Chains A and B, each alone.
Chain A
């Protein structure tokens, strides 16, 4: 178990390291220099060079990269070009907002997706299954801003039952904040439903065809008991992994939903940083998403081992 954990942690660090290089290099190919971007076209060449020097962007690439990564390791995410202040509080506040939105979407979609997938599996190949599968697939490929706009038109503009922006104001009550988050959460639910239902369906079908299910049926257990105690327990394991891998999407793919609903989350932060060419902010935001994804995947793997004794012994022999 310890070896397995060490191996996974090692891979995790490696992935994050490569990710940091990709993000850093992407920041480097941007046209124009940051000093020019901040001071504008009218600034003198000297002023731009002085600011570049102050920001440290005239140093060799390797030095810049090492300085950046060194800062990251000390918990220093850098200093924003736009705000002339540490990036960290902005990223932290945005991440908390995004987590609220993501949590609401998860709470709605996980039960729905699992129920949809299990029903589709029980009706495997029949009309009900086809409807759930094709609807799920369509919903998960319609961009969030498209479903978001249909929702705004229906609930916000026509029926006027829900607010069309996500920002409830800082001092708003929890109830009001919740109400503002309902519409933005639904496009995320649409996207995730297809993935989770598809995985739950595949797992359930496999489990229904297994020897242990046949044994349970043959020894005379009622169908409901077979499904609850034998089928579901095994079929939901792969679903957990999918839910975890979608966390990365949920935290990061929020760019569109947060922009559409004007919500101050991590996606919105990245989008605005990109528009303003505020690289330290952009790099920090993207790296935070990477960390969230990698950690979520690790937790999912550990959860799988904990839930599935067969994997536990396999890991033991590793």
Chain B
């Protein structure tokens, strides 16, 4: 029971997601491959270009956008895409293109911060679970298992209903719900390391537990954590966009892709497709950009 990875019938072992399995495969490697390999991969370059584009939009959005994303033009509501408004206008006459450009900011702030929080907490928990084992591991594993019995979006949603929607709450809660997922991968990686000679050796030298965990084991499971981080980045985009769509993200009138889609998808039947299709494509392109970069990093680290 203490060594879940070795027990084929233990649910934790069988439910380890494909992403985590990849991360573990990487953990087996001792030296990370040179970063130069990445720059030769076309998938990486395309993904990085997409991400760079959205980062520029997030930082300089207001300067690039052709209109003020909040400016209402009540004589030109629900206008179809045209030379003046490339992506058309919304029911308040706001320029959809400008809202898509400026809307990149909220998601690009929330996603990395939430993922970093989840990775830091998950790494600490996973290291402790894998290193100490025993009762602590048993109890923590049960909690991780119980949380993972629910879809991420539902748990995040449950707690967001409780604390109310705001950017900070979104970051903290997504960070917390990612913690058990990341902890599980880190724990499995630590279990593989724990029986290596260097661990008992440093313990016999009288090193403190925290020193062994963070100074000795952590550097060796770092590649696995890096892959796990990039994979979770993609899922964070998914989660943040979904929660914004459900009304728990940035509140109107601030432009936000998910919130703008939620506000206007009722107009689809009236034929105003441009109000939702363009923010939807923006989310899809961001997701695909992250995936292309993640997949390339995984490939390079595993080769």
Q: Chain B interface mostly helix, strand, loop or mixed?
A: helix
B153 on the A face (CB < 8 A): yes
Q: Are B162 and A29 neighbours in the complex by a CB distance under 8 Å?
A: yes
Q: Are B9 and A199 neighbours in the complex by a CB distance under 8 Å?
A: no
Q: Are A289 and B18 neighbours in the complex by a CB distance under 8 Å?
A: no
Which of B206-260 touch A at CB < 8 Å? 234-235, 237-238, 241-242, 245-246, 258
Min distance, Cβ A286 to any Cβ of chain B, angstroms: 6
Given contacts A137-B291, A157-B268, contact A146 B284 (CB under 8 A): yes
Which of A36-63 touch B at CB < 8 Å? none
Q: Are B157 and A274 neighbours in the complex by a CB distance under 8 Å?
A: yes
Q: With the chains together, A4 CA to B9 CA distance in Å?
A: 9
A109 on the B face (CB < 8 A): no
Stretch in B113-121, B129-137, B144-152 touching the partner: B144-152
Min distance, Cβ B70 to any Cβ of chain A, angstroms: 23
Contacts of B269 in A (CB 8 A): 156-157, 164
A198 on the B face (CB < 8 A): yes
Q: How many residues of chain B have a CB within 8 Å of chain A?
A: 53
Q: Are B277 and A150 neighbours in the complex by a CB distance under 8 Å?
A: yes
Min distance, Cβ B255 to any Cβ of chain A, angstroms: 17
Q: With the chains together, A14 CA to B146 CA distance in Å?
A: 8
Q: With the chains together, A249 CA to B151 CA distance in Å?
A: 5
Min distance, Cβ A252 to any Cβ of chain B, angstroms: 4
A297 on the B face (CB < 8 A): yes
Q: Are B151 and A252 neighbours in the complex by a CB distance under 8 Å?
A: yes
Q: Are B291 and A19 neighbours in the complex by a CB distance under 8 Å?
A: no
Q: Are B162 and A26 neighbours in the complex by a CB distance under 8 Å?
A: yes
Which of A252-268 touch B at CB < 8 Å? 252-253, 255-256, 259-260
Interface size class of A (residues with CB under 8 A): 35 or more
Q: Are A145 and B242 neighbours in the complex by a CB distance under 8 Å?
A: yes
Which of B14, B149, B153, B161 touches A15 (beta carbons < 8 Å)? B149
Q: With the chains together, A283 CA to B206 CA distance in Å?
A: 49
B287 on the A face (CB < 8 A): yes
Q: Are A202 and B163 neighbours in the complex by a CB distance under 8 Å?
A: no
A314 on the B face (CB < 8 A): yes
Min distance, Cβ B164 to any Cβ of chain A, angstroms: 7
Min distance, Cβ B122 to any Cβ of chain A, angstroms: 17
A22 on the B face (CB < 8 A): yes
Min distance, Cβ B43 to any Cβ of chain A, angstroms: 7
Min distance, Cβ B235 to any Cβ of chain A, angstroms: 6
Which of B15, B241, B242, B273 touches A241 (beta carbons < 8 Å)? B15
B276 on the A face (CB < 8 A): yes
A311 on the B face (CB < 8 A): yes
Q: With the chains together, A253 CA to B238 CA distance in Å?
A: 12
Q: Which residue of B lies closest to A305 (CB)?
A: B9
Which of A1-51 touch B at CB < 8 Å? 4, 8, 11, 14-16, 18-19, 22-23, 26-27, 29-31
Q: With the chains together, A18 CA to B141 CA distance in Å?
A: 11
Min distance, Cβ A15 to any Cβ of chain B, angstroms: 5
A245 on the B face (CB < 8 A): yes
Q: Which residue of B lies closest to A4 (CB)?
A: B9
Contacts of A15 in B (CB 8 A): 142, 145-146, 149
Which of A152, A249, A274 touches B161 (beta carbons < 8 Å)? A274
Which of B11, B154, B164, B238 touches A286 (beta carbons < 8 Å)? B154
Min distance, Cβ A54 to any Cβ of chain B, angstroms: 23
Min distance, Cβ B231 to any Cβ of chain A, angstroms: 9
Q: Are A256 and B11 neighbours in the complex by a CB distance under 8 Å?
A: no
Which of B4-23 touch A at CB < 8 Å? 8-9, 11, 14-15, 17-18, 21
Looking at B14, B159, B261, B271, the one whose CB has the most chain A CB atoms below 10 A away is B14
Q: List 11 A-B contacts (CB under 8 A).
A: A31-B164, A133-B295, A145-B258, A149-B277, A156-B268, A245-B14, A249-B151, A255-B154, A274-B158, A286-B154, A304-B14
Q: Which 3 A-B pairs have the closest CB atoms?
A: A18-B146, A252-B151, A198-B18
Can you name 14 extra interface pairs (CB under 8 A) apart from A153-B268, A255-B157? Answer: A15-B145, A18-B143, A137-B295, A143-B258, A145-B258, A152-B265, A198-B18, A202-B21, A259-B246, A270-B154, A286-B150, A300-B14, A304-B14, A314-B9
Interface residues of B (CB under 8 A from A): 8-9, 11, 14-15, 17-18, 21, 43, 142-143, 145-147, 149-151, 153-154, 157-159, 161-164, 234-235, 237-238, 241-242, 245-246, 258, 261, 265, 268-269, 271, 273, 276-277, 280-281, 283-284, 287-288, 290-292, 295
Interface residues of A (CB under 8 A from B): 4, 8, 11, 14-16, 18-19, 22-23, 26-27, 29-31, 130, 133-134, 137-138, 141-147, 149-150, 152-153, 156-158, 164, 195, 198-199, 202, 238, 241-242, 245, 248-249, 252-253, 255-256, 259-260, 270-271, 274, 277, 282, 286, 289-290, 293-294, 297, 300-301, 304-305, 311, 314-315, 318
